[in-house]
Structure 1
Amino acid sequence: MAHYSINFAPLSVGGDTTALIGRQPYDDEHLRELRQEFSRTHVFRRDQDTIIDIPIRDDREPLGNLREEIDLAKDRLMLPSLFSSALLRLFSGQRQILSDRPVSVLGDASRGMIGHSALPSWIQKRTGLRFDTRPIYTKNRILGVVCEARSKNLVLGTCADLLSKGVSLEGRYVQIEVQPYDTRLMTRRRLIGKVREVRGDDLVLEDHAEGFETVAARDAFLEGRRETLNSCVRQILGRDAEQVLAQAEALEAEFHSGPKRKEQIERALDFLRKKDLEAVPGAKVTIGETLSSAAAGFPSTETIPKPFLVFDPSGSRKDDWAERGIKKNGPYDQRTFSPKQLNIAVICQAHYEGQVDRFVAKFLDGMPDAVSGNKIPRYGDGFLRRFQLERPNLEFFTARSSSTDDYQAASHRALSKASDEGFKWDLALVQVEEEFKSLDDGSNPYFATKSTFLKRDVPVQSVLLETMGQPNGKLVFSLNHLSLATYAKLGGTPWLLASPQTVAHELVIGLGSHSVSASRIGARKRFVGITTVFSSDGSYLLTDRTAVVPFEEYSDALYATLKRAITTVRKQDNWRSTDKVRLVFHVFKPLKDTEAEAVEQTVKDLNLDNVTFAFIHIAQSHPYLIFDNKQKGIGYRDPKKGVLGPSRGLHIKLGDRESLVVFSGASELKQASDGMPRPCLLKLHRLSTFKDMTYLARQAFEFAGHSWRMLAPEPFPITIRYSDLIAERLSGLSSVSGWDAEAVRFGQIGKTLWFL
């Protein structure tokens, strides 16, 4: 049996654990002022409508008027804040402290991961540690520290320093330093604008914050983004840069590997265990060993089996491996899919037409001679044979250049031909370039072409020129994914996900988001996508409408979608008002109580008497890591990928309302430098009335294996992933001049998975 450990170490407090606290009415601004003035003598915490303060020095009294004595060993409300304060006192003057909530510190600059004799010491790539405090619930509530090792890119020199080294600043965003409320912390930086030109000792800015038309170069700093740091290194070092960056990348990849991360975390916790950490004078904090499955009290663990996919309406053809199932059985709807002979328009740049032609032939007919290590042709059948299609009517329409206007002109010629000759294109296959991703959405040929065809209900499948040029060993995998997504965009059903036999009717609603902004200084606009899935006849089915709305309108859109879906599905499946119905919501952010209550009211209005709800926040950002100490790595030669990484399907239940689920594990990593696979944290809202976390975690895992975008499992359930894609694609299309937002909402294309 696998031996697991989590980067979580229990905290306890001993000695004289009684302490006097003060209470006063809560006010956000007042709390900030208290922290700024008394950060070295008191610890503060909000508790509902009050501010609690506790002195951390013998010579100080509580500040609040209402005072009471508590036992820190029993009442642990203040312990997380007190532990963080103890860490601040420990690291102050010893390490550079990035933040205090959670406490994050930088490693020694002398042990940085980038260096060269000609490189200034203020260009750094350093290790860092972050200490979070979190509770988990096994038999009892356990409060612990979650320690995580990270890397940090830093450009600490001023823009004047960079200019003296010959670094170009035009087009780069710059920041100014802002003093933190606690002088023990590193200065924070505030983004103020993008450099238009250098004028003497000043930087002239565009897309700038109010009052920052110019800034002195000596007062400005570049961001510590990876691409910014790399650009500085290239301009300073010239020919030596690539070797230096490659060495830094290798060191960073090693640092993020399972063994190195585990070593850093254990070393950090051992260091803290040897120190005299006090919550308050006389009350010592003790840090236990990291949680391990070899010890009692480890959370309940299971490996969720792979979900079964169904490849025919009778349900007799099933497989738990999508690639094998589709090759062996063909698509679920092969008998009913129409048309079998497709009309395909190929849009490409004229000087790449030959390369695109060869690629399209491989896509349609397969690559039987390209075999993998086990002598199996991974894409030997090709798109036509795999999905039981006839040879298509295919025509090329070339763009003179990579400009948006030329791509649109080629698209218009294709549509004119179809109109003149009285037929409709079933698919537009569009050649794009990696460089297009750096363009604004409004000037991106991909979105311009997609907009043109979607308005005429024609699905678009883009292919990167760089993908077309991949060696055959890689190209077969790209074609596997491409063929699947293309068939789904055409309205095909490659397979269905078998749903468990339950008494309850079930609807799963996914909410994903995407943020866009033409300006990094101005407000970002967030779009929310909504995906609805329901169970019927033993399979999970997507509903025929997708929705995307601005964030401010998502609540209304969610309720409207919910009403429409329930009304449609109850009629289709003949629900009675007394039938048991379960509604599961997968959301990209924690739902507010008011939102959960509004959903409940919406369902009551539909006269369903027996409904339970589960609201699950699928959190991608969290500090937890899972180590599988028996995972020696995958591959035949060193460095192996995924060493100490957990496998896909691992489920660790942190309590009745939290679970860690590995949607994409060690085997799914592409290469050793990808580091550690991370689990997702599933958090059940407290107002949920359906509370079976094991059922919900298994269901979410099944949806991660039900993507028609790629044959490999997704890193998140499709309920979230599809919603993210809908929001991302439609927010990009909205930037294109002449885009009709109603095209997807009311057009036939909205009933397909056009966004894959």
Structure 2
Amino acid sequence: MSGNNLKLNFAPIGITGETIVRVGFRPFEKDILHDLRKEFAETHVFRTDRQDDTIIDIPVVPDAEPLSDKVMEVDLKETHWHWPSLMNAAIVRAFSGKREIARDYPVEVLGSPQRNFIGHDGLPAWVQKRSLLEFTPRTIFGSDSKPQFGLLCDARVRNLLLATCDQLIEAGLSPLGRYVLIDHPPNDPRLTLRPQIVGRVASISDGQLVLEDHREGYETVEANKARLSGSKADFDWCVRGLLGNDADRVLKEANLAASQIHAGPGRLKTIEETLGFLRDSSLEAVPGVKFEIAQLLDSKSPSFPTREMIKKPSLVFDPSGTRTDDWNERGIKANGPYDQRTFTPKGLNIAVICQDRYEGQVETFVAKFLEGMPDVKTGRRGREQARYGDGFLRRFQLEKANVQTFTSLSPTLESYEKACTNALEHAADTGIQWDLALVQVEEDFKTLPGNQNPYFGTKAALLKNHVAVQSFRLETMQQPPSGLVFTMNQMSLASYAKLGGRPWLLGAEQTVGHELVIGVGSHVATNSRIGGGTRQVGITTVFSSDGGYHLSERTNVVPFDEYASALTDTLKRTIVRVRDQDNWKNTDRVRLIFHMFKPAKDVEAEAIKAAVEGLDLDNVTYAFVHVAPTNPFVIFDMNQQGQPSWAQQKKGILGPSRGMHLKLGNYESLVVFAGASELKQVTDGMPRACLLKLHRNSTFRDMTYLARQAFDFTAHSWRIMSPEPFPITIKYSDLIAERLTGLKQIESWDDDAVKFRDIGRTPWFL
């Protein structure tokens, strides 16, 4: 798709009327601001002016006056920074008494309970799946470079379980082992009750829920005052408990019905109808000053953001740079891996670890993995192809492997660790070194704590002994051949990378002397929903040297509160190493680009800059980019009729294509990393663009360059053949944090295995 007929879920807004208004102002105090909002939420809007350290109050209903002793006149036409708060308040007034308002910033409004997406005679009225409207005021910049204030409107679905726990128990559903919440009165009486999770039910006695992992002061709560959240797990459990054998069908039908709002046509219709309601409501910013809401912004308007379709990056399959392709699977089949001439060893020693009851099935699976599945062809009739006809060995130019199987007597950590020990002892006795271990695991292992999980146990035992580990699930082996070939593709790619191989590199143009791209991701490790969880932060460095992107030698994981200092240490080590390796001069131009899972704080940005500048580099520029997949923007491509074009039921209708880039301003861009073609099924709804936000202290500010580069990194994954829905700079960091968090729970694990040994110089975490 060319992107020449786009719409954004953004309605431009102007104001009309007598815009000179009187407002009050007083010194800022947090407690006073809270009390004012609680008492006067229906009559005034309160803003904080951080520059002057004041509270500003604006009367928004007839006959209301400023509340402060000090009053001044402002022209709303010129003071656009007041508009977002005034717009939020106007939307709340428009829906008050007509719909349930769940939040006031951003404003969230629940759809009518009569339009419940889930229905069955056996379901009580307190089981609901309802639409939710969300409103976010924003300012963006069009291709004419002029700022445009407007309202982002989106529609989604929310699950609700409104029964109290005593009603659940009466219906035969025990909340034991589940987290419960209680509802607090809202600060604004026009809003719904404010839910708060208070703890997990440990026991039930005389109408009281005894809680564990609870908030302070909530050792017990009354069953008639607590309820379950509407999380997918609780919602599905509740429906299954009420409906039994009918539940799966009802849940499937409900998800299909709800997908009409998530899908392009339904979402667009809901948004436009909602904006029509707001127009008819004649929203007032203040008495006598109306908000004028235009139609959704489309690409024909000069106010629409500058747009482009980012082209697929070129992947390089040989050091000379002559063998290239923009499709990794085709390129590697035709050319072999980038390092085929230098990769060693060619003849691999492979240990297979599996449960003894599946040994025969596993050996058959491994044979298919190594030798290929040439008889299995997929694709439309007349265009079928053998997606995994070559197999791991031929695809990566390897010789016949030495494969030995070692079995586990049970699906337990101890038994898997024993199988690993047997494999390592065999290697020692025969004088070989295992290059790769293929480990059969089960889907259910994901539910086990880290210190009981065979997945992490085998990784810990083998990685610290320099053995790359590739796991595969029992459920994967049982796939039909037409699906298994795709899994084999991914597994073969990841295995080669874990062995230290380079399947391909990015073909990048050299635009500066030296450029490093640093990704920072995270993983929350916790068994608690109340608190006490530890956010672990992973760091992976991807750098450009002579146009090719590579992993750094070090990966690390640290608690969240230590990540800034760990990042500066990692960065300094990397720069020193690369400077020596590539013979940098102090006067060379250096660009450092950070892809971060959270917005960088000023103090963090300054600390990193100070650390690098202490390395005597005279010409360094920085870009701190927050990569935010969750954001309020939705892009509609009015020419997108759905994929695949020949299917009766199409996915991604009106969805944007992968590579679409909208520049929202000098500090923000929207990039579609996974588009309509990348959706897996019809019910997946709309592909969403990722928001890239540049920190204001950045000294390199070319958002177009940064957006294109982030997009390129989605095509450079050695984990899967298809593009990642996220740049690998962040994705790899997330994986590092997740894997190391689990490994640290294994008593025998040694952190030095990936910090200082050769296995740590490979993407062992894929």
Per the TM superposition, whether the score is higher than 0.5 is: yes
Give the match's secondary structure for 2:138: strand
| Structure 1 position 341 matched with structure 2 position 347 | yes
Distance 1:343 1:206 in 2: 49
Point out the more displaced range, 445-454 or 103-112: 445-454
The aligned amino acid for 1:29 is D
| Structure 1 position 654 matched with structure 2 position 664 | yes
Out of 346, 352, 356, the residue aligned to residue 358 of structure 2 is: 352
- The 1:140/1:419 distance shift into structure 2, 3 A limit, reads same
Counterpart of 1:748 in structure 2 is 758
Counterpart of 2:674 in structure 1 is 664
Using the TM superposition, give the Cα deviation of residue 603 of structure 1 relative to its aligned residue in structure 2, in angstroms. 2.0
| Structure 1 position 311 matched with structure 2 position 317 | yes
Out of 690, 701, 716, the residue aligned to residue 691 of structure 1 is: 701
The aligned amino acid for 2:689 is P
Counterpart of 1:515 in structure 2 is 524
Point out the more displaced range, 441-450 or 106-115: 441-450
Distance 2:418 2:512 in 1: 55
Out of 26, 29, 42, the residue aligned to residue 44 of structure 2 is: 42
Using the TM superposition, give the Cα deviation of residue 753 of structure 1 relative to its aligned residue in structure 2, in angstroms. 0.4
Out of 326, 330, 343, the residue aligned to residue 324 of structure 1 is: 330
Out of 117, 121, 124, the residue aligned to residue 113 of structure 1 is: 117
The aligned amino acid for 1:17 is T
Q: Equivalences for 1:399-410 in 2 at 5 Å?
A: 399-410=408-419
Using the TM superposition, give the Cα deviation of residue 688 of structure 1 relative to its aligned residue in structure 2, in angstroms. 1.1
Judge conservation of contact 2:141–2:303 (CA < 8 Å) in 1. Answer: no
Judge conservation of contact 2:284–2:290 (CA < 8 Å) in 1. Answer: yes
Distance 1:575 1:186 in 2: 61
Distance 2:571 2:411 in 1: 42
Per-residue deviation, residues 577-609 of structure 1 (Å, max 9, x unmatched): 111111111111111111111222122211111
The aligned amino acid for 2:435 is D
Distance 2:274 2:141 in 1: 24
Point out the more displaced range, 208-217 or 8-17: 208-217
Distance 2:161 2:512 in 1: 59
Q: Equivalences for 1:37-436 in 2 at 5 Å?
A: 37-48=39-50, 49-138=53-142, 139-373=145-379, 374-436=383-445
Point out the more displaced range, 446-455 or 156-165: 446-455
Per-residue deviation, residues 158-178 of structure 1 (Å, max 9, x unmatched): 011111111132221111111
Q: Equivalences for 1:543-692 in 2 at 5 Å?
A: 543-635=552-644, 636-692=646-702
Distance 1:351 1:690 in 2: 58
Using the TM superposition, give the Cα deviation of residue 734 of structure 1 relative to its aligned residue in structure 2, in angstroms. 1.4
Out of 17, 20, 26, the residue aligned to residue 18 of structure 1 is: 20
Counterpart of 1:534 in structure 2 is 543
Using the TM superposition, give the Cα deviation of residue 749 of structure 1 relative to its aligned residue in structure 2, in angstroms. 1.5
| Structure 1 position 738 matched with structure 2 position 740 | no
Distance 1:97 1:3 in 2: 34
Distance 1:120 1:416 in 2: 61
Distance 2:162 2:452 in 1: 34
**TM-score of the aligned structures, taking structure 1 as reference length:** 0.98
Using the TM superposition, give the Cα deviation of residue 484 of structure 1 relative to its aligned residue in structure 2, in angstroms. 0.3
Unaligned 5+ runs, structure 1: none
Distance 2:581 2:73 in 1: 62
The aligned amino acid for 1:345 is A
Using the TM superposition, give the Cα deviation of residue 299 of structure 1 relative to its aligned residue in structure 2, in angstroms. 1.1
Per-residue deviation, residues 65-113 of structure 1 (Å, max 9, x unmatched): 4322111111111111111111111111110111000000000011110
Judge conservation of contact 2:148–2:303 (CA < 8 Å) in 1. Answer: no
The aligned amino acid for 1:197 is S
Q: Aligned Cα RMSD in Å? A: 1.3
Per-residue deviation, residues 300-348 of structure 1 (Å, max 9, x unmatched): 1110110001101111100100000000000011111111111111111
Point out the more displaced range, 610-619 or 149-158: 610-619
Counterpart of 2:723 in structure 1 is 713
The aligned amino acid for 2:176 is E
Distance 1:265 1:439 in 2: 42
Number of equivalences: 756
Point out the more displaced range, 324-333 or 166-175: 166-175
Distance 2:58 2:710 in 1: 42
The aligned amino acid for 2:752 is E
Give the match's secondary structure for 1:88: helix
Per-residue deviation, residues 24-74 of structure 1 (Å, max 9, x unmatched): 222333322221111111111122122221111333322334322111111
Give the match's secondary structure for 1:545: strand
Per-residue deviation, residues 731-753 of structure 1 (Å, max 9, x unmatched): 11112223222221122221110
After the TM superposition, which segments of 4 or more aligned residues of structure 1 sit over 6 Å from their partners? Answer: none
Point out the more displaced range, 631-640 or 304-313: 631-640
Counterpart of 1:728 in structure 2 is 738
Distance 1:350 1:188 in 2: 53
Give the match's secondary structure for 2:81: coil
Unaligned 5+ runs, structure 2: none
Give the match's secondary structure for 2:80: coil
Per-residue deviation, residues 686-745 of structure 1 (Å, max 9, x unmatched): 111111111111111111110001110011111111111111111111122232222211
**TM-score of the aligned structures, taking structure 2 as reference length:** 0.97
Q: Equivalences for 1:437-456 in 2 at 5 Å?
A: 437-456=446-465
Distance 1:44 1:22 in 2: 9
Per-residue deviation, residues 617-638 of structure 1 (Å, max 9, x unmatched): 1111101010110000112222
The aligned amino acid for 1:696 is L
The aligned amino acid for 1:477 is F
The aligned amino acid for 1:360 is V
Per-residue deviation, residues 656-686 of structure 1 (Å, max 9, x unmatched): 1111001111111111111111110011111
Distance 2:33 2:478 in 1: 58
- The 1:66/1:442 distance shift into structure 2, 3 A limit, reads farther
